């Protein structure tokens, strides 16, 4: 039996359930801008990782080489974080 007193009814959200679920319009929801940014970040990350390995293996022990190795290490770690963030942002 339904309560006839409107003061005792709970306030309900009338947001349809289908609005809260994100449905892609097509199978590939990747825009050209996203593809460009993602490929740029991936290429810079790979380049920094390769340079880091090469400098560590063949660079020597000077302070400049150590600084370059640190810069490359930081760059590829941030690149991996950016890749994870881009993928996570696209999924959400």
Q: Which two tokens stand for residue 83?
A: 């890749």
Residue ranges per structural domain of the chain: 30-91
Question: Comparing 6 with 41, which gets the higher pLDDT?
Answer: 41
d(CA 41, CA 30): 15
Residue 54: count of CB within 10 angstroms of its CB: 12
Convert the pLDDT of each residue in 24-52 to its tens digit. 566 567 889 999 999 999 999 999 999 99
Residues in the chain: 92
pTM over 0.85: no
């Amino acid at each position: 039996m339904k309560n006839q007193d409107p003061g005792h009814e709970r306030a309900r959200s009338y947001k349809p359930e289908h609005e809260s679920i994100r449905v892609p319009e097509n199978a590939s929801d990747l825009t050209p801008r996203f593809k460009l940014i993602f490929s740029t970040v991936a290429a810079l990350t790979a380049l920094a990782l390769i340079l880091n390995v090469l400098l560590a293996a063949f660079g020597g022990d000077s302070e400049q080489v150590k600084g370059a190795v640190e810069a490359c290490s930081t760059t590829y770690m941030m690149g991996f974080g950016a890749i994870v963030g881009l993928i996570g942002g696209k999924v959400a």
